[in-house]
């Protein structure tokens, strides 16, 4: 398993190819956001270097990542939070939109449930989950030997829109499903 908490990781990102160094301007997801984005505040979970959050037109931006070296690369106008989304977070954050981009698929089922609890608590209006999916996989099933899990997001949240962007599905959620537990 990789050690994402080292300075070596930050050095890799600093040397990454143009797709990452362009800070998100040419990302398909950035183009999607520009078309559909109507929020005053946004929090990106697993922000890494901030290539997506930096390019969004929000008055208030937040970036959360487990790696302090990557957070150092996020635009200084963003509020930065060094936390592991899969553990209890003692913050009372509120953002109109909270989103992930290929983050939750790397959490096992128990970690996913804790992350989802935090995300729901932070979101005022919407949650956008842009995550890879494996057709016909079961909820919580390991689908890749390098550590990707399938999660049935709609089992825990009300989904009202699904769009495709760059080979991923973006699922837009409003709230916890009535009668469904996230434990």
Mean pLDDT of the chain: 75
Geometric angle at alpha carbon 114, from 127 and 59, rounded to 5°? 35
CATH fold of 7-176 reads Rossmann fold (3.40.50)
> What local confidence, expressed as pLDDT, does residue 182 receive?
35
**What are φ and ψ of residue 16, in 5° steps?**
-60, 165
> What local confidence, expressed as pLDDT, does residue 15 receive?
53
The rounded distance, in Å, linking the Cα atoms of 58 and 62 is 10
Q: Is 125 exposed, middle or buried (0-12, 13-18, 19+ CB in 10 A)?
A: middle
> What local confidence, expressed as pLDDT, does residue 181 receive?
36
Other CB atoms within 10 A of residue 104 CB: 24
Residue 54's region, left for phi above 0, alpha for psi from -120 to 50, else beta, is alpha
> What local confidence, expressed as pLDDT, does residue 164 receive?
55
Ranges in the chain, pLDDT < 50 = 1-2, 5, 17-23, 175-183
The pTM of the full predicted model, rounded to 2 decimals, is 0.73
23 neighbors 51 (Cβ within 8 angstroms)? yes
């Amino acid at each position: 398993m990789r050690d994402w908490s080292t300075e070596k990781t930050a050095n890799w990102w600093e040397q990454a190819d143009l797709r990452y160094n362009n800070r998100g301007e040419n990302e398909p997801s950035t183009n999607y956001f520009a078309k559909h984005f109507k929020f005053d505040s946004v929090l990106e979970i697993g922000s890494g270097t901030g290539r997506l959050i930096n390019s969004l037109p929000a008055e208030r931006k937040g970036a959360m990542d487990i790696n302090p070296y990557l957070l150092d690369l996020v635009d200084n106008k963003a509020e930065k939070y060094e936390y592991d989304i899969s553990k209890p977070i003692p913050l009372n954050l509120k953002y109109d939109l909270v989103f992930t981009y290929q983050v939750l698929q790397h959490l096992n089922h128990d970690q996913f449930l804790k992350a989802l609890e935090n995300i729901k608590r932070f979101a005022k209006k919407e949650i956008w989950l842009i995550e890879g999916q494996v057709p016909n996989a079961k909820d919580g099933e390991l689908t890749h030997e390098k550590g990707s899990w399938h999660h049935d997001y709609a089992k825990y949240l009300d989904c009202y829109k699904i769009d495709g962007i760059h080979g991923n599905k973006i699922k837009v959620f409003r709230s916890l499903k009535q009668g469904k537990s996230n434990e």
